Copies of this chain bind each other. A is one copy, B any other.
Amino acid sequence: MGEFELIEQFFKPNRPPAPASQAPAAPESIVLGIGDDCALLQPAPGMQLAVSSDMLVEGRHFFADADPAALGHKALAVNLSDLAAMGAEPLACTLALALPPERARDEAWLAAFAGGLRALADAHACPLVGGDTTAGPLNLCITVLGQVPAGQALRRGGARPGDELWVSGTLGDARLALLALRGDIALPPPALAAARQRLERPTPRLPLGRGLRGIASSCIDLSDGLAGDVGHLLAASGVGAVIDADAAANLIAVIAFLSGAGGTFDLNFRRSTVLTGGDDYELAFTAPPGARAAVERAGEKAATPVTRIGRIEAAPGLRLIDAAGRPVEDGFRSFDHFA
């Protein structure tokens, strides 16, 4: 199969994307999709455009034998998570794909990958409008485009001393799944299944991000680990924070399976998993204490749990405390691709 047939067969939508109930981006925003030199989009009047690109590399971001449907899901999900963190709604995405020759011939793999990507794209009204295919070591690069009312985007730099620090959903499970799949730890089958779902099919928090417009003072998505990503938010805002490391460690979804399991899963391991694990694709955000009820309502409306885990302070840096308020030794670092 040639590259043009490959695009035609697997990636060109054969029908307009179904509008998802929670995704207000109108299909009429797509003026021209796959098949020309560029796609053409018409953002709604008064909107700013949000854009983000992420690249996933075989052997680094995913295993060579990863489920292709899950991979298609995840490649788009990590990008949609960036739109969520800005409070933006999706408009469209592009996919650039380098495929080794054996993958380019593997129609079952391509169909499953494209299907996983399309299912998530349809669910969030974020159609694939263009891209590129080439031969090369397996590499997936997705760019998402979204829109947000001018001036309402959630940025990293708006946290102020006195604000409270929140996170969405659960944390650390993706890391546990990775450790278990690598054979570094053992997890009971139901725990592994649940954790693996979080690793392979993260949920971009788009409804929550939109709901936090006008409420959150700053926001970031958690891709490299809580400590490092919150560190970026603090640096951008010129502030510091104290985080209750034990409240954070309790956000592991499969924690019930870990508590009684002895040494490997001690408190420090759980803290480290949540603070440095990465691949969570949850939102960390700040809001003034007076907005607490509004934050909780936004979480309920988006059907996404939200948890307060700390507060912003004027002194730069990230300080960790335990459940009793005592300082926790901070040796936790974020993931760095070149470290």
A39 interface neighbour in B35, B52, B96, Cβ under 8 Å = B52
Across the interface, which residues of B come within 8 angstroms of A92, CB to CB? Answer: 51
Among listed A145-153, A245-253, A311-319, interface-contacting one? A145-153
By a CB distance below 8 angstroms, the chain B residues around A85 are 37-38
Chain B residues within an 8 Å CB radius of A339: 2
How far is B2's CA from A88's CA once the two chains are assembled, in angstroms? 29
**Residue of A37, A39, A45, A94 ringed by the most chain B CB atoms within 10 A:** A37
User: Does A32 sit within 8 A of B, measured CB to CB?
Assistant: yes
**Complex interface: chain B residues within 8 A of A55 (CB):** 96-98, 132, 134, 136, 139, 141
Which of A319-339 touch B at CB < 8 Å? Answer: 336-339
Q: What residues on B are CB-neighbors of A232 within 8 Å?
A: 4
A137-B36 in contact given A49-B145, A51-B41, A94-B51 (Cβ < 8 Å): no
Q: What distance in Å separates the Cβ of A230 from its nearest Cβ neighbour in chain B?
A: 13
A28 smallest CB distance to B (angstroms): 12
How does the 8 Å CB contact mask read for A103-136 relative to B, with 1 for contact and 0 for none? Answer: 0100000000000000000000000011111111
Q: Mark A216-247, 1 if CB is under 8 A from B, else 0.
A: 00011100000000001000100000000000
Contact (Cβ within 8 A) B82 A4: no
Let me know if A37 and B82 touch, CB within 8 A: yes
Residues of A151-172 whose CB lies within 8 A of B? 153, 155-157
Q: How far is the CB of A238 from the nearest CB of chain B, in Å?
A: 13
Tell me whether A38 and B88 are in contact (CB under 8 A). yes
Q: Can you report 5 residue pairs joining A to B where beta carbons are below 8 Å apart? A: A36-B236, A40-B50, A53-B94, A94-B143, A133-B338
- Sorted from nearest, which 7 A-B pairs have the closest CB atoms? A57-B136, A141-B141, A55-B96, A37-B85, A38-B50, A137-B137, A143-B143
